Amino acid sequence: MKGFAPPSRFGGAQVPAEPLPITRTITVTEGISVKDLAEKLGVRGKDLIATLLMRGVMVTVNQSLDADLVKDVARQFGADTQFISFEDELANEALESMLAQENPDELELTRPPVVTVMGHVDHGKTSLLDAIRETDVAGGEAGGITQHIGAYKVRIGKPDSPAFGREIVFLDTPGHEAFTRMRARGAKVTDIVVVVVAADDGVMPQTVEAIDHAKAAGVPIIVAVNKIDKPDAQPDRVKKQLGDRGLVPEAWGGNTVFVDVSAKQRLNLDLLLEMICLVADLGNLKAQPGRSAVGTVIEAKLDRGRGAVATVLVQNGTLRAQDSFIVGNTFGKIRAMFDDRGRTIEEAGPSTPVEILGLESMPDAGDTFLVVADRDKAKGIAQYRKMKEREAQLAKSSRVSLEGLAEQIKQAGVKELPLILKGDVTGSVEVLADSLQKMSTEKVRIKVIRSGVGAITESDVLLASASNAIIIGFNVRPERKAADLAEQENVEIRLHSIIYELQDEIHKAMLGLLEPVFKENYLGRAEVLNVFRIPKVGTIAGCRVTDGVLRRDADIRLMRDGEQVFKGKLTSLKRFKDDVKEVTNGMECGVGLNTVDIQVGDTVEAFVTERVAAELTAR
């Protein structure tokens, strides 16, 4: 056959000797297997394997292929390639399945709104949620601040309320400045943002940040002016401050909903919930409970008894026990599901936060969660992603350039503070690692050599011992054996539950790493009038103090014609025959020095050296 390699060469395979002209475009997913690519190209698997062998690539029929290799091989068979993610492919299949139904509109139902609560630290976000849930979440938070994303489903239970019986899902994001990324992640999965502002405090930096996140995500904003029961509350001042930033209240002719509330006195909470439902109705929020579940990982943690545990917000479809799924570069099967109050459930519909068990490994917060029918294919995609991630990390660590080498030489004198960071959830760990590394300065660089979720283990202690690192535990504690090993190896373990206390401690550690700075304090100056060489005593300089004082415990510098010829300590200081502690300006004295190189006309400068704390300069 013209244009193909001889059949006998590859056992009867028909392999094009030259690339065929491009006549079609095929859509392929990342990490596509040899078998699936052969089906899309319309060729036999052994023909595709033969083409790869000719390129020096040894593969099996079930092996995943790299994107560049897929593109080249497809061109050999006359096809151009368009790449989509595995998630996009599943979403397209679900959409095609829905459109194939007789009445697809009937499959769409109104879903509960997902509301993210944002605002400045200590403005009452969690207390407001507590009042709505009639629970006490804030009481269990370290230092009274929220350090994780919490997800809660609330059913409005007031019979006299127009929104009676409806459900709202709340995401409570931390207000501390270090958790900017977690707040940003919260805004991406939400339908409505409630910005909480304290009436006695006004608009603060994190308030503005929260508004920026909400605007960037393109979601409607409701402002809850909290603490209106306080004597110094000024809700109108808050409205004016926000009006200047583009959030004009409806009462003032704008389109932003403002609700004055008090979490402690439980004032106007029903009105706030009604406004949320009203804004949600305007958004026409729909979902298809009949399709496979799609969601987002809100948080993930490592539980000693249950393994990897993830909090997932189901955004569409229905998640059921025993469903297989893929999430980021891991996969699994639902072994058990729990709601926000810890109760076991068998299925979760749209806009439902659930805690799931059955993950093969830890996902990252913010990863897309997808239920799949073909578990083996999900496993292959997850392994391919993990392999690519590992390759990227290795390439990043091993790549060397002349510019990089110059930077290393320039930083040869920079002190390094190695840290091992362990936390209870992935969101906290990644944000802490970022915030600590940003504390690096020109003199001290912080290097997080390992970060992970779970208790501090023996492996962490051994790594810290080998690399002279400090172990930081954030809301976790060391295992018993790890604590004993740390004591034996003299490894320092610091346990914290509040981020700003941790940052203060690291800052102090950075100060301790710097070499001490010595500052010279000038005391006085004397002129050498005569030189006496006394046997068994040494050289004595007869001097007159011309400025300041000479002290017996001072350091001295012998100067001649503006140049230093000797630096050391005074061996003696006499006034006539008596030893004295100091000689003041205008008086004559005898000065003993450990040098014979003294001449008439030299100047003796006295000074003391003071040790001062080193200062860190920001990058």
Q: Give per-residue pLDDT as tens, 91-115.
A: 666 555 555 554 455 457 788 888 8
Q: How are beta strands 415-423 and 470-474 bridged, if at all?
A: parallel
Q: Answer with the residue of higher pLDDT: 30 or 254.
A: 254
Q: Tell me the whole-structure pTM to 2 decimals.
A: 0.65
Indicate whether 526 pLDDT > 90: yes
CA distance 456 to 473: 7
Q: How are beta strands 286-287 and 257-260 bridged, if at all?
A: unpaired
The predicted structure's pLDDT at residue 102:
45
The predicted structure's pLDDT at residue 545:
93
Is there a single domain that holds both residue 147 and residue 180?
A: yes
DSSP 230: S
On whether the CB atoms of residues 73 and 66 are closer than 8 A, the answer is: no
Indicate whether 139 pLDDT > 90: no
Q: How far is CA 544 from the centre of its chain?
A: 65
The predicted structure's pLDDT at residue 614:
63
Indicate whether 313 pLDDT > 70: yes
Is there a single domain that holds both residue 486 and residue 352?
A: no
Residue whose C-alpha is closest to residue 617's, from 363, 453, 444: 444
Indicate whether 470 pLDDT > 80: yes
Is there a single domain that holds both residue 322 and residue 218?
A: no
Q: How far is CA 367 from the centre of its chain?
A: 14
Domain boundary among 349, 372, 388: 388
Domain assignment present for residue 92? The answer is no
Domain count, the chain: 5
Indicate whether 463 pLDDT > 60: yes
CATH assignment at residue 553: 2.40.30.10
The predicted structure's pLDDT at residue 11:
46
Domain boundary among 513, 531, 560: 513
Domain assignment present for residue 96? The answer is no
Indicate whether 179 pLDDT > 70: no
Indicate whether 9 pLDDT > 50: no
Q: Residue 2: which pLDDT band, with cuts at 50, 70 and 90?
A: very low
For the segment 294-322, the average pLDDT, to the nearest whole number, is 85
The predicted structure's pLDDT at residue 316:
86
Q: What percentage of the chain exceeds 90 in pLDDT?
A: 5
Task: Find the DSSP H helices in 559-600.
Answer: none
Domain assignment present for residue 393? The answer is no
The predicted structure's pLDDT at residue 6:
46
For the segment 352-375, the average pLDDT, to the nearest whole number, is 85
* Lookup: tokens for 257: 């909903």
Is there a single domain that holds both residue 226 and residue 148?
A: yes
Domain assignment present for residue 619? The answer is no
Domain encompassing residue 530: 517-612
Q: Residue 8: which pLDDT band, with cuts at 50, 70 and 90?
A: very low
Q: Answer with the residue of higher pLDDT: 167 or 2.
A: 167
Indicate whether 449 pLDDT > 70: yes
For the segment 341-362, the average pLDDT, to the nearest whole number, is 87
Domain assignment present for residue 499? The answer is yes
Q: What is the DSSP string of 259-304?
A: EE-BTTTTBSHHHHHHHHHHHHHHHT-EE-TTSBPEEEEEEEEEET
Query: What residues pair up with 485 in beta bridges, in sequence order?
Result: none
Is there a single domain that holds both residue 229 and residue 160?
A: yes
Is there a single domain that holds both residue 143 and residue 253?
A: yes
pLDDT per position as a tens digit, 528-571: 999 888 887 788 899 999 999 998 888 888 888 878 888 888 88
Is there a single domain that holds both residue 190 and residue 159?
A: yes
Of 143-152, 160-169, 232-241, give the lowest mean pLDDT range.
143-152
The predicted structure's pLDDT at residue 588:
92
Q: How are beta strands 324-327 and 330-338 bridged, if at all?
A: antiparallel
CA distance 549 to 566: 19
Is there a single domain that holds both residue 303 and residue 369?
A: yes
The predicted structure's pLDDT at residue 22:
75
* Lookup: tokens for 320: 């059921």
Phi, psi of 341 (to 5 degrees): -105, 10
Q: Residue 143: which pLDDT band, with cuts at 50, 70 and 90?
A: low
Q: Average pLDDT, whole number, for the chain?
A: 79
Q: What is the DSSP string of 388-443?
A: HHHHHHHHHHH---HHHHHHHHHTTT-EEEEEEEEESBHHHHHHHHHHHHTT-BSS
Distances (CA, A) of 141 to 117, 169, 170: 16, 20, 17
CA distance 263 to 228: 9
The predicted structure's pLDDT at residue 75:
82
Indicate whether 279 pLDDT > 70: yes
Domain assignment present for residue 313? The answer is yes
Q: Residue 619: which pLDDT band, with cuts at 50, 70 and 90?
A: very low
Domain assignment present for residue 424? The answer is yes
Domain boundary among 229, 262, 284: 284
For the segment 284-309, the average pLDDT, to the nearest whole number, is 83
Is there a single domain that holds both residue 308 and residue 441?
A: no
Q: Answer with the residue of higher pLDDT: 112 or 45.
A: 112
Q: What percentage of the chain exceeds 70 in pLDDT?
A: 81
Residue whose C-alpha is closest to residue 564's, from 615, 616, 604: 604
CATH assignment at residue 420: 3.40.50.10050
The predicted structure's pLDDT at residue 533:
84
For the segment 368-396, the average pLDDT, to the nearest whole number, is 77
Q: Answer with the residue of higher pLDDT: 356 or 23.
A: 356
Domain assignment present for residue 404? The answer is no
For the segment 261-284, the average pLDDT, to the nearest whole number, is 86
Is there a single domain that holds both residue 240 and residue 267?
A: yes
Is there a single domain that holds both residue 226 and residue 331?
A: no
The predicted structure's pLDDT at residue 79:
81
Is there a single domain that holds both residue 172 and residue 238?
A: yes
